A and B are shown apart, each in its own frame.
Chain A
Amino acid sequence: NAGVTQTPKFQVLKTGQSMTLQCAQDMNHEYMSWYRQDPGMGLRLIHYSVGAGITDQGEVPNGYNVSRSTTEDFPLRLLSAAPSQTSVYFCASSYGQGLQYFGPGTRLTVL
């Protein structure tokens, strides 16, 4: 099993550009989540999904969209990048409310 994979590992965007961060898991987990991690702020939940076709907002959803068309994939879309979205983004999956498996992260810089 590859576990949770994320692409790209690094990305630099200009303000106003859009992009999609990819996340995939091969463990048949129902739950998938996106977090952002900023210094001193811990992990903040952006969006999450409890199954294909079901998504919900977390603590900091503004400026991000998600969809869950399959169990395996949970892409995160930045609609119009802003410098405040410079962060490290982690995708995670779990079987119900069990332990979360995290991907390696995407380090995003918005200029």
Chain B
Amino acid sequence: GQQVMQIPQYQHVQEGEDFTTYCNSSTTLSNIQWYKQRPGGHPVFLIQLVKSGEVKKQKRLTFQFGEAKKNSSLHITATQTTDVGTYFCAGYNYGGSQGNLIFGKGTKLSVKP
């Protein structure tokens, strides 16, 4: 079945350093979504990418969708303590079941002030 792999599992950075998490799917995705979950909270939607090669920015966050629509990345420039949390990617399998959204295991980011 479809698998979505996410690396690294954990990342510890000093405040001000950059951070990147990578997401790879075993199958072509129709779209990819990114979520952030703060400790003790629920996942909150960040962005959705649909087009091959798409790049979107939200302030210090840059999201990319690969040309083959099988991989994606989230890059945070100059991390802040407010960036702490777990970042998940999730994708719908292209041509697959409509409601079957598969999540990666997430990257837990900690930021040392």
B is a partner of A: yes
* Chain A interfacial positions (CB closer than 8 Å to B): 31, 33, 35, 40-45, 48-50, 56, 58-59, 90, 92, 97-105
- Tell me if B106 counts as interface (CB < 8 A to partner A): yes
A41 x B105 contact (CB < 8 A): yes
Apart from A42-B88, A59-B102, A99-B33, what 11 extra A-B contacts exist at CB < 8 Å? A40-B9, A42-B105, A44-B103, A45-B103, A48-B99, A56-B100, A97-B92, A99-B48, A100-B33, A100-B45, A100-B101
Known contacts A42-B88, A43-B88; is-contact A101 B45 (Cβ 8 Å): yes
A102 x B99 contact (CB < 8 A): no
* Chain B interfacial positions (CB closer than 8 Å to A): 1, 6, 9, 30-31, 33, 35, 42-45, 48, 88, 90, 92, 97-106
Contact pick for A97, options B43, B88, B98, B102, CB 8 Å: B98
Selected A-B contacts with CB under 8 Å, 14 pairs: A33-B99, A35-B103, A42-B6, A43-B43, A45-B102, A49-B99, A50-B99, A56-B97, A59-B102, A90-B42, A98-B48, A99-B45, A100-B45, A102-B42
A110 to chain B, nearest CB (A): 21
Residues of B contacting A101 in the complex (Cβ-Cβ under 8 angstroms): 45
Known contacts A97-B30, A97-B31, A102-B43; is-contact A42 B99 (Cβ 8 Å): no
B98 x A50 contact (CB < 8 A): yes
A-B contact count (CB 8 A): 61
A67 to chain B, nearest CB (A): 15
A44 to chain B, nearest CB (A): 7
A100 CA / B48 CA spacing, docked (Å): 10
A41 CA / B4 CA spacing, docked (Å): 12
A99 CA / B101 CA spacing, docked (Å): 11
A41 CA / B86 CA spacing, docked (Å): 12
Residues of A contacting B102 in the complex (Cβ-Cβ under 8 angstroms): 45, 59
Residue of B nearest to A47 (CB): B99
